[in-house]
Structure 1
Amino acid sequence: MPSRSTAASASLVIVALSLAGCTFSLPAVEPEASTSPTVATPAPAQTEGDDQAGEDPMADALAERDQFLADQQLPLDGSPLVAVTPAQQEFIGQQRAFVESQGGTWDAQTESISLALAADACETAILNYHEVDAPLLQAHVASSPVFAQLIPADFSEDQRAAAERNVASVMVFGAGFLCPEDGPQWEAAFTEVYG
């Protein structure tokens, strides 16, 4: 589990982006595109060896993803996400405490964004058979509509890199609560990518 200082640095993105005047809005979910709060990185394709053995690992991954979403009790219709499980509440409690300790204001939109980031990371891990590494993290960040919404297109390269790192930090921190079995891999990938 990440340390308290990790929680502090992870939560900083919400304050930093809020103070920079960024507005937050979650992208609308296209029902045909994904059943998750956001679009996940596609899983590796099924191999011939899997098909010949009569196994379908992608079907298993999709079933696991569906169970994860059901267990998390997060709405899939684009409505705001609210912490309902004990793990979500612990994650959001730590995020909120830090934001407020830095003079920031916590609101329902910040909670929803934080949960979307964490849930999306967990879904991505599931759909990639729990094999999380630096290239997956980079692909996820590059394709995530939540990241695209949070980081203004007119940011300079340095601003973009800092904001991306901070948003990824919140995502990785949250994944440690929502899918703790994948947390250490997300943390290792984060360290490799962002130092």
Structure 2
Amino acid sequence: MNIVQTKLKDCYIFEPTVFGDNRGYFFESYNKVKFESLIGKSVNFIQDNEAFSNKGALRGLHFQKGEFAQAKLVRVTHGLVLDVAVDLRKDSETFLQHIAVELSSDNKKQLFVPRGFAHGYVVLSDTAMFNYKCDNVYNKASEGGVIYSDQDLKIDWKLNPELFIVSEKDKILPTIKELY
């Protein structure tokens, strides 16, 4: 497994070693010992989630606050998404910076999004299956978000905004300036 440090502190891309032959392929998608050795800290994932979405579905940018903050390890098992992480940690040298990474069933990359980040994605293929591990439980009272179209973040979602399918809740999320 190869690990790539992104420009955001503590946010990593994992590229698995894929073994293929005439039967298909095999790869280790998660190994706690290797994972923690690579990132240099312990993470206790307690929940796996899966979302199926159609092209243009944009989910985000979401986060959990306080004691319910979540780290996530995300991947795509079918299709292609543009995955976005935004550093919201005020004490971080990468505060308010973001990365956008294409995750797909073909490239099998995974993104580790640490606590203190907003996270979202848009589906670029006809459909996509998005999977993620969380290290904390979801708490409705602790949810927060940033509007995906925030002009200060300048995220290029790589899709015509007319194609976006966005929940009513996500359409009214605050801007970065409204949060800070």
Q: TM-score, normalized by length of structure 2?
A: 0.30
Higher relative contact order (CA 8 A, sep 6+): 1
Q: TM-score, normalized by length of structure 1?
A: 0.28
More strand by share: 2
More helix by share: 1
